[in-house]
Amino acid sequence: MHVLIVEDEIPLAAEVRSYLEKEGFSCDEAHTGKIASDKIFSNTYDLLLLDLGLPDYEGIDLLRESIANKSSAAIIILSARSALEDRIKGLNVGADDYLPKPFSLLELKSRIMAVMRRKHGIRTNILNINNLEIDLDKRLVSSQGTLITLTRKEYDILSFLILNKNRVVTRLQISEHIWGDIIEENYNSNYIDVHIKNLRKKLSEYIEGDFLETVRGIGFQFIE
């Protein structure tokens, strides 16, 4: 999951980034509204963690800008402004959740997972599909009680494809979701194909048929 942390308190931004990266997220930081605006325009994010009190921007204006630009990112406001009217304003403008500072990193992760479940129309952290069980919280994949050993990137690609099941996902979307900022001309590298090949090999023991389809010239889709 590709996350942009918009926070002018640099130590806090670094703490959140360190925690989320240990949990398997890919993170960028922006310490001003201008930098955040540029990053949102240039990159595709799954989630924005947005502070309202930025030195050069009102966070609410950045929220409006993101929505106006049709960003598909979910948005969680993280702010010391805990008054009810601030929470209502943020949610009414289009934020998916609001977490007042100070906050627990464990609660932040739980809220992130809840928001992303809603975004993909699922209700639990356990997905069952094609003889597989995927634990989104623990980042584990198993089949009928047997744990399937995947690398971190293999798991990230598989979970992303499954959350977008029966929908073609481009190589560029996979690269931005898994690796974050990339050099555009390199996005078509065969490193994605290598991971897909390894996934097919590891999962074919548990799933029959062509469950990971290559759409030539575009990308891949997981078929339910």
> Rounded to a whole number, what is the distance in angstroms from the first to the last CA of the chain?
22
Local confidence band at 189 (pLDDT 50, 70, 90 cut-offs): low
Q: Are residues 87 and 160 in the same domain?
A: no
pLDDT of residue 146: 94
What is the rounded CA–CA span in Å between residue 120 and residue 135?
15
Tens of pLDDT, residues 169-187 = 888 888 877 776 554 444 4
Q: Are residues 148 and 88 in the same domain?
A: no
β-pair type (169-170, 219-222): antiparallel
Q: Are residues 85 and 194 in the same domain?
A: no
Domain residues for the domain of 61 are 2-119
Q: Are residues 102 and 162 in the same domain?
A: no
Q: Are residues 59 and 41 in the same domain?
A: yes
Hey, how many other C-beta atoms are within 10 angstroms of the C-beta on 185?
Answer: 7
What is the rounded CA–CA span in Å between residue 19 and residue 122?
25
E strand intervals along 94-180 = 97-100, 126-129, 132-135, 140-143, 146-147, 169-170
Computed over every residue of the chain, the mean pLDDT equals: 88
Hey, how many other C-beta atoms are within 10 angstroms of the C-beta on 195?
Answer: 19
Q: Are residues 79 and 10 in the same domain?
A: yes
Q: Are residues 108 and 141 in the same domain?
A: no
**Which amino acid belongs to residue 121?**
G
81 contacts 53 by C-beta, under 8 angstroms = yes
* 111: CATH: 3.40.50.2300
* 177: CATH: 1.10.10.10
Q: Are residues 19 and 63 in the same domain?
A: yes
Q: Are residues 152 and 101 in the same domain?
A: no
Tens of pLDDT, residues 19-48 = 999 998 989 999 999 999 999 888 889 999
Tens of pLDDT, residues 55-78 = 998 888 889 988 888 788 999 999
Q: How many domains does the chain have?
A: 2
